[in-house]
Amino acid sequence: MSEISVGQLARDNNLRSLTPDIDADEIILNVPNINRPALQLAGFFDHFDSHRVQIIGNVETAYVATLSREQKIYVFDKMFSFNIPCLVYCRNHMPDEDVLELARKYSVPLLASRCNTSDVFARMLRYLQETLAPTLTIHGVLMDIFGEGVLITGESGIGKSEAALELIKRGHRLVADDAVELHRVTEELLVGRAPEVTRHFIELRGIGIVDVKTLFGVESVKETQSVDMVINLEEWDRSKTYDRLGNKDEYVEYLGNKIICYSIPIRPGRNVAVIVESAAVNFRQKKMGYDALEEFYKRVQNNMIKNR
């Protein structure tokens, strides 16, 4: 299971520590969700999501201000006794000395942000979902082609990296070569990135390692990209019947997410980069409501009617 420390969460999201005497790097997060403790501040702790990051904004701060000192100490003492990973104050709100003392008692880091609560909530939720998402590393190449995340797979040596290099020369962007880390952010969203060691590099047999960022510029690479479609390259097999109309959708499953997959037979003389680029454009057209097969079928039908 993926995990990060509260200290890393604070550094990556520009949160300042209000309790520097508490070592936030020793507290581990493994739940990719956030909670705003509304009912808890009213004293109701049934079904409390205590393993989540807790966020306090304007509404919660205004409510706490209406509590007596005894009530406030009771609810924060009760909340911190659940060993919550941390409590984040938004909009530059600050805890008083009673809350700070209770946080130190239970070793709960208090963090603060000057941003509004909705922005902090959305940014941190996205960060946690991507960082703590289930992961899988596969062999392939991930490209951003006209905004579509195209994962190119196939046996080693079939020409994935060479196709990627040609696509880069045509203005598209490399995300990962050889090893692609897939992160299941949601049931509909699969995000890919390169391991830090191989980021921005391509391996070309006979040439060696190529630094794409240095050779082609920063506009030729990208850190992360959603995986929208898969292109599987395979050796041409004369005995196999390949789809020539595109009327049958095939899918491949990664981490429980189904991604549409096209199998492209490879033989000498075929420009793989152009085929992959065309597949991405055709896929984009279908998402926008235009299907070339339907248009072709309509033309055939109209031509048959005219020739009757």
Catalytic residues: 139, 160, 178, 244
The answer on whether 217 is annotated among ligand-binding residues is no
**Is there a contact between 146 and 119 (Cβ–Cβ < 8 Å)?**
no
Which strand ranges, in their side-by-side order, compose the sheet holding 16-17?
Answer: 16-17, 110-112, 87-89, 53-56, 34-35
**Please, what sign has the CA dihedral across residues 151, 157, 159, 162?**
positive
- The percent helix, strand, coil of the chain (3-state, each to 5) is 35, 30, 35
The answer on whether 157 is annotated among ligand-binding residues is yes
CA distance 29 to 2: 9
**Is there a contact between 171 and 250 (Cβ–Cβ < 8 Å)?**
no
The answer on whether 155 is annotated among ligand-binding residues is yes
Instruction: Give the residue from 149, 170, 275 showing the smallest Cα distance to 216.
Output: 170
**Is there a contact between 154 and 191 (Cβ–Cβ < 8 Å)?**
no
List Cα–Cα distances, 103 to 94, 95, 100, 110, in angstroms: 13, 10, 5, 7
Which tokens in the block code for residue 279?
């597949």
The answer on whether 158 is annotated among ligand-binding residues is yes
Whose tokens are 């990051």? That residue is 53
DSSP letters, 155-187, are: STTSSHHHHHHHHHHTT-EEEEEEEEEEEE-SS
Q: Which residues are annotated as a binding site?
A: 154-161, 203
Binding-site entries for Mg(2+): 161, 203
The binding site for ATP consists of 154-161
